[in-house]
Amino acid sequence: MLYIGIDIHKRSHEVVILDDGGKPLGKSFKIGNSHEDLTHLFERIAKVNPIGEPLRFGMEATGHYWLAIHSHLRSGRQEVVILNPLRTHAYRARSLRPAKNDRIDARCIAELIRTEVKSDYRLADEDLLGLRQLTRLRVELVDMVSDQKRRLLTLLDQTFPEFEGLFGEKYCKSALGLLQTYPTPADMVAAGLDALTELLEQYSYKYYGRAKAEEILCAAQRSFGVPFGQHANGIQIRLLAGQVIYLEAQQKALDRDIANCLKAIPNCLTTISGIGNILAAALLGEIGDIRRFRNAKALVAYAGLDPSVIQSGEFTAKKAHLSKRGSTHLRRAVWLAASAATRNDSAFRELLKRKIAEGKPYHVALGAVANKLLHVIYAVLRDNKPYYPLNVAASSVAA
């Protein structure tokens, strides 16, 4: 067998070929991201492989750059081993003369797949990969909306500090529509009572009317906001309010797309209290095929929710923090699900209360709930059976 180590980069990749004894077959060479480069790769391999020995390719999971060449090699029914960069770093560090460049990295990869066959990753199928991409995009949209709302609030604190108390939900559709049309107190006063009433009735479907318009007009007339810079602040407020409206509309449309994609993947995650379509999609997308985890503890470790161990000689740290070395996206989804579970499921709520009664801070107690919840998620995905709240302890033990 020949072992082909590929050091992945954005535009080009370094390739090293080793034989069964670990001897390099020719010099290292570069390939790019094209069908012609893939053909060139196999031509170079054929020159040093006259008898047609089987091939094993190896590469690191470097960002998203490895996906294209990996998919083309797999479509050609080639054996491909995907390595965690931490694994190759540790292997290189064991060398008596540690050094780093593209050729050495490709050689390390080839050596690793020659001596250790285990792949660190299994690429999810198309449906799960699609869910992962969509739910990660949703997280980005949510973060963008939060950022713009914070900027908007900063400007309102200066320009119209009374605005925050005018609506029960300060970023409701009516509030944002008002700010997009009349961004400053002066604009609202100039618009007049009738215009404000008409706008509020339009955006709130007549939930708000003349009484709310009078309240807003009175607050605008008596506003204690900074009087200078109103024009510049007004432009910013108008634009930011429009961005929030646009991004929230995109998020709602994306939520519908995610829910439709979720229907194509049979699962029982939504039977777990507090997990709706969006969280179920995020969990499925990040976990992928549950069979790649040998047990629930492996899934907990993948999420980075296992405790780190600090030990030296006879010393063992009494306080163990979460390792946080796994998937940040999965950890975020599980954390949100755990928080929702404590509100919707008595078993998880009691677990949270018990940990807090033991003197644990809230975030530590919630971490225990997240750990327990992952055991339940593992059992539900493994068995493809609904979750029954009364059996939370049994499900965890079974996992």
Residue ranges of domains in the chain, CATH in brackets: 2-115 (3.30.420.40), 128-260 (1.10.287.4070), 269-398 (no CATH)
CA distance 252 to 239: 20
Q: Quick one: pLDDT at residue 124?
A: 56
CA distance 171 to 152: 10
Q: Quick one: pLDDT at residue 291?
A: 87
- As a whole number, mean pLDDT of residues 235-253 equals 97
Q: Give kind and range of the element (H or E) at residue 7.
A: strand 2-7
For CA atoms 344, 350, 351, 353, the dihedral sign is: positive
Q: Quick one: pLDDT at residue 390?
A: 55
On average, the pLDDT of the chain sits at 88
Residues 6+ apart with CB under 8 A from 368: 351, 352, 355, 360
Which DSSP string do the residues of 76-118 spell out, in sequence order? TT-EEEEE-HHHHHHHHHTSSS----HHHHHHHHHHHHHH---
Residues 6+ apart with CB under 8 A from 6: 13, 14, 15, 31, 57, 58, 59, 69, 106, 109
Q: What is the pLDDT of residues 20-37, one digit of tens each?
A: 998 999 999 999 999 999
The 3-state DSSP class for residue 23 equals coil
User: 340, 275 in Cβ contact below 8 A?
Assistant: yes
Q: Give kind and range of the element (H or E) at residue 18.
A: strand 12-18
- Token digits of residue 277: 């379509």
Residues 6+ apart with CB under 8 A from 188: 178, 182, 196, 216, 217, 220
CA distance 311 to 174: 57
Report yes or no on whether pTM surpasses 0.85. Answer: no
How far apart, in Å, are the Cα atoms of 355 and each of 72, 225, 272, 348, 381? 50, 46, 21, 11, 27
DSSP conformation class of 182: S
CA distance 84 to 65: 14
User: 336, 279 in Cβ contact below 8 A?
Assistant: yes
Q: Quick one: pLDDT at residue 99?
A: 59
- As a whole number, mean pLDDT of residues 254-283 equals 93
Residue whose pair of structure tokens reads 């998203």 in the numeric block: 64
Please report which residue ranges of the chain form alpha helices under DSSP H: 35-47, 66-75, 85-93, 102-115, 126-159, 173-181, 185-191, 193-204, 210-221, 230-263, 277-287, 296-302, 328-344, 346-357, 362-383, 392-398
Sort strands 12-18 and 2-7 into parallel, antiparallel or unpaired: antiparallel
pLDDT band at 389 (very low <50, low <70, confident <90, very high): confident
Phi, psi of 241 (to 5 degrees): -60, -40
pLDDT band at 5 (very low <50, low <70, confident <90, very high): very high
The 3-state DSSP class for residue 15 equals strand
Q: Quick one: pLDDT at residue 269?
A: 95
pLDDT band at 122 (very low <50, low <70, confident <90, very high): low
Q: Quick one: pLDDT at residue 315?
A: 39
Burial classification of residue 15, based on how many CB atoms lie within 10 Å of its CB (0-12 exposed, 13-18 middle, 19 or more buried)? buried
pLDDT band at 96 (very low <50, low <70, confident <90, very high): very low
